[in-house]
Amino acid sequence: MLSNEFKYYLDHQQELVEKYIGKFLIIKDAEVQATYDDHIEAYYAAEEKFGLGNFLLQQCLPGTLSTSRTFNSQVILSE
């Protein structure tokens, strides 16, 4: 799994944001391997170099902006 890479991002988020704010990071082996402005370019480059499931693609933003998402549903529940 990529839990070590995500932990690295969280542990170093503040310093990474200072250096790479807004960029898309490729993290592998607890190290930033590359940075990109575009997530699609980052994905394809990392897939080619490391193979699927072997890297974390993470947008570098402060706080929880890049680590959590809210999804709203149109579901109506009735009793």
For the chain, what is the mean pLDDT? 90
Whole-angstrom distance, CA of residue 53 vs CA of residue 19: 26
The tens digit of pLDDT for each residue in 42-57 reads 999 999 999 999 999 9
Residue 33 predicted with pLDDT over 90: yes
Q: How confident is the model over 17-26, as pLDDT tens digits?
A: 999 999 999 9
Model-wide pTM > 0.75: yes
The domains of the chain are located at: 3-59
- E strand or H helix at 7, and its extent? helix 3-11
Q: Are strands 56-59 and 32-36 parallel, antiparallel or unpaired?
A: unpaired
Cα gap 49→52, rounded to integer Å = 9
Separation of alpha carbons 32 and 38, rounded Å:
16
Question: In what helix (H) or strand (E) does residue 79 lie, and over which residues does it extend?
Answer: none
Return the closest-CA partner of residue 36 out of 25, 50, 52.
Answer: 25
